[in-house]
Chain A
């Protein structure tokens, strides 16, 4: 059949209309799961017709929740190892610490000054808090005298506070922690970028400190099986160890990418020297000093205290083969320090592969006051609602942390928001709420604290908005520095709010008359009696009974 060639002008309309009609019909074919291949509904009318997919999608096969074997840990043996370590700081009797003391206006002490100052309960935090719609408080469990209260007391007394932020790729390269640190240092003083590994392939990405490492072979805890001995037994919660060599060096340079980072007053280089060794330390590209160590399995530190440290270089002069390098810590002699310990693909189990004795030794040098656990992103499955097995592991993580860092309070961060996609576009992964609830339960069970990350992200528009605003990557899972700033702000506000509640409670106790409670106090457990923790001079002499009303 031949047609006059100009007839094709009408054919455009016919082809377009028929295509449209067929596509409308196709829109009503429900999603098909054929032999593992998931075919979505192809709906040309999804803008105006609701297909209510969730109902028709059917139950998909669930993957196992976790591989429990990965999370095996004997907490009793951990406790024993820690106890042994703390009883004898150096089993061989070697000095674990060498120091470089500079000239100061106010003299630091190497360790923390035992502050006798009373907590400043009149600190005005109200102005720092956001509108209620952007506030997700840190939930504190554990009643009277819980660890968070001890932390708040330290903060308000002006004692140095050290925070270990343990997480996965979500916070890699100091994302989120860079801003949490800055905000906390703005409010409670302090400086320095916290812990920086000796050597790792990812140092280039970190903005808050510049690391140049030469001559080291770095190993990551997720590859512990291919890490050679004895390094495979040396892991600290940082997740990185580096095998030294003679001449190996690392130079850390402070940056100005956040406030309070350009200079710090104390640095601490952490390593093990199994053989006799000599290590040179040079600060600010000027003065250099050499430190000698006799071989031992214990963790060593070189503490450098100077009025302004803007760069630090450590170099192994001899004994390099026996050196396991961890990294260096940069902090002020007071205020808040935040260490970023991020390990890719880690759901928290990596801490069980660390050496508890190493953790405890470093803790005895540093003293962590708060540990934040941010895990769970790789656990989520879009159809799974039950995370009870994982919750049990979270409890183990909290107990492990409490063993290694006995003075630290623990905050469990709920899993973050993540988007999934269907024909209507990007939607939040609803199971994040389920997982968060399981994580919260675990925190509650262990008297730890909990912060609802998902909720805070939803208050800021959720992952879809994070991507649209350029705060997160196109995998709709990982945030970038800008997104980290948003979540850090949320967590900072959550902490401030919880601190404010603590202050209110304590103040309330000190007012004997007018038994009227602020509305916010209702969230506190009724049995809470904080006066036990208060310095004597703050406890009113007349009446110390908790003020409670039935209103």
Chain B
């Protein structure tokens, strides 16, 4: 009887808090959540207190990071610990080994363990799907495998460490805690950037120091990141982009094209916004991460695009995959092949599905063609800033559309959907309704336009903003964050844009 009563009682305040803090795969701890702000304030108090006790502070950050990971992946935080222990030991063994052969075996073991983990958790069912499509449905049974959050990121980080030790570029760390600190550091743990061991390790035991410039940049990046991720990206995806991709035939070609442009902005804002917040939070903690996105749609060539888009990933792929495959040192055709392989695997890294491989293939082909073009036309340039302004403009438009074609492959659930979107754009564009569409989706189009305007703003504007924020008084800084957070909450609870028909 008492049990029954207990079941129907409303959860108490304390119950709600406890359940909020427990592992819940459906609500990971993300920077743009209220819960994160609460936890961050608590964390910062301890961080400030342990300012001069470096070793203790390191352990404190590790514990918080493990909790951060536990919140979204539960017991799988053990995986993170396992990776750090195994690569910590392997790196030491590599440094100690006297024969090149043994060193090679050891680094291979590290790569095998990391890639094996990633493969098992991320690609098992994908491989089963491929096997079933080759040998008939039911050939293998799908496995119920949990995908631990951020595994693609920390596995790549860990590999960069052992490979750099093997290449003699860095010395192995003395303390395991330092390595665990690097691997689990919560700002970049679940969604990057992929911070290289050689960039991060020297900062670990430096005295904690946040300059005014770092602080201003940090606050500005957090605010910009919030606007990009939680206002622009979330709003346009829910109210426009997702719908178009869910049912392209319901929309005119113009709406489909806007859906693709919208998605290009959405994925950029989502990804780079989160990266910005990570870099901003790290700055407040006294750590500098390299830039991860550099206004990628300003690229005038596809090669330039890959120097501006998800830089930490593209440079990782270049240094550890492309160069390991032989890079451009083995002749022209081998270079193209290496580029293709790198991009195919890079595509697959984004997710276990054929569409990501196709996306990688498109970029691989585009990069190879551009490389060939550069060889044939000696005057051709890679970066837009070296071009004539008109050429640059044409290059930006052309590159943007190649990238958009890539996003279409990346986002569409099936080739049929890709075909339908293109069919609508090329056969059913319906210019007559453009005015109505723009008026009907006023807020959304304004947001997309604002997003692109922000994107094409010169870099100095961005830097000026950071400087201003750094120089601003305490209350201005607080006001900036409060206003942005308030806007995020308004957007989060705003009415859903109703479906509008424009074509008959």
Contacts and interface: CB of A to CB of B under 8 A. Distances in A.
B20 to A, nearest CB: 6
A344 B504 contact: yes
Interface string A1-39: 001011011111111111110110010000000000011
A485 interface: no
B436 interface: no
B326 interface: no
Contacts of A185: none
Interface in A401-459: 419-425
Contacts of B478: 15, 18-19, 22
B463 interface: no
Given A9-B210, A42-B490, A205 B40 contact: no
A6 B249 CA distance: 58
Contact of B496 (A8, A26, A38, A475): A475
A23 B48 CA distance: 22
Interface string A37-55: 0111111111111000000
Given A16-B40, A40-B490, A473-B246, A9 B286 contact: yes
Contacts of A13: 41, 44-45, 47-48
Given A16-B37, A48-B16, A201-B503, A9 B209 contact: yes
- From B13, B44, B474, residue with most partner A Cβ within 10 Å: B44
| A interface SS class | mixed
A205 B250 contact: yes
Contacts of B37: 16, 19-20, 23, 44
Interface string B46-74: 01100100000000000000000000000
B423 interface: yes
A374 interface: no
Interface in B63-88: none
A117 interface: no
Given A42-B489, A45-B34, A204 B249 contact: yes
Given A344-B501, A423-B492, A473-B243, A12 B485 contact: no
Contacts of A26: 482, 486
Interface string B235-272: 00111001100110110000000000000000000000
Contacts of B45: 13, 17
A19 B481 contact: yes
Interface in A474-494: 474-478, 480
Interface residues of A, number: 57
Contacts of B504: 201, 220, 222-223, 344
A472 B38 CA distance: 34
Nearest to A481: B247
Contacts of A345: 501
Contacts of A223: 504
A23 B485 contact: yes
Contacts of A419: 496
A169 interface: yes
Contacts of B284: 12
B209 A6 contact: yes
A472 B229 CA distance: 24
Nearest to A424: B493
A17 B45 CA distance: 9
Contacts of A16: 37, 40-41, 44
B489 A44 contact: yes
A169 B499 contact: yes
Contacts of B40: 16
A63 B366 CA distance: 54
B288 to A, nearest CB: 14
Nearest to A6: B209
A173 interface: yes
Contacts of A48: 13, 16-17, 20
B312 to A, nearest CB: 23
Interface residues of B, number: 59
A470 to B, nearest CB: 9
A47 B214 contact: no
A423 B486 CA distance: 12
Contact of B493 (A15, A22, A40): A40
Contact of B51 (A9, A40, A475): A9
A424 B493 CA distance: 7
Interface in B399-440: 420, 423, 428
Contact of A202 (B47, B246, B249, B477): B249
Given A16-B37, A16-B40, A18-B478, A474 B243 contact: yes
B489 A43 contact: yes
A149 interface: no
A475 B498 contact: yes
Nearest to B16: A48
B147 interface: no
B285 interface: yes
Contacts of B212: 3, 5, 8
Given A15-B481, A23-B485, A474-B239, A420 B495 contact: yes
B497 interface: yes
A339 interface: no
B494 A40 contact: yes
A172 interface: yes
Contacts of A44: 34, 37, 485, 489
Contacts of B47: 13
B490 A12 contact: no
A172 B501 CA distance: 12
Contacts of B38: 20
Contacts of A473: 242-243, 246-247, 499
A169 B501 contact: yes
A520 B357 CA distance: 56
Given A16-B40, A423-B493, A474 B250 contact: no
Contacts of A474: 237-239, 242-243, 246, 496
B465 interface: no
A480 B250 CA distance: 11
B211 interface: yes
A388 to B, nearest CB: 24
Contacts of A23: 34, 37, 482, 485-486
B368 to A, nearest CB: 35
A220 B501 CA distance: 13
Interface in B210-228: 210-212, 214-215, 218-219
A40 B486 CA distance: 10
Nearest to A468: B26
Contact of B210 (A8, A39, A222, A477): A8
Interface in B460-502: 474, 477-478, 481-482, 485-486, 489-490, 492-499, 501
A478 B496 CA distance: 12
B498 A477 contact: yes
Nearest to B40: A16
A218 to B, nearest CB: 9
Interface in A364-383: none
Interface string A333-355: 00000000000110000000000
Contacts of A173: 249-250
A9 B219 contact: no
A17 B208 contact: no
B457 interface: no
A212 to B, nearest CB: 13
B35 interface: yes
Given A3-B212, A13-B44, A44-B37, 7 more contacts: A9-B286, A26-B482, A38-B495, A44-B489, A473-B247, A474-B243, A476-B496
Closest 5 CB pairs of A and B: A205-B249, A42-B489, A8-B215, A423-B493, A12-B284
20 contacts: A3-B212, A5-B211, A8-B212, A9-B51, A10-B48, A13-B48, A15-B219, A22-B482, A42-B486, A42-B490, A45-B34, A46-B34, A48-B13, A48-B20, A173-B250, A201-B428, A201-B503, A204-B249, A420-B496, A421-B496
Interface of A: 3, 5-6, 8-20, 22-23, 26, 38-49, 169, 172-173, 201-202, 204-205, 220, 222-223, 344-345, 419-425, 473-478, 480
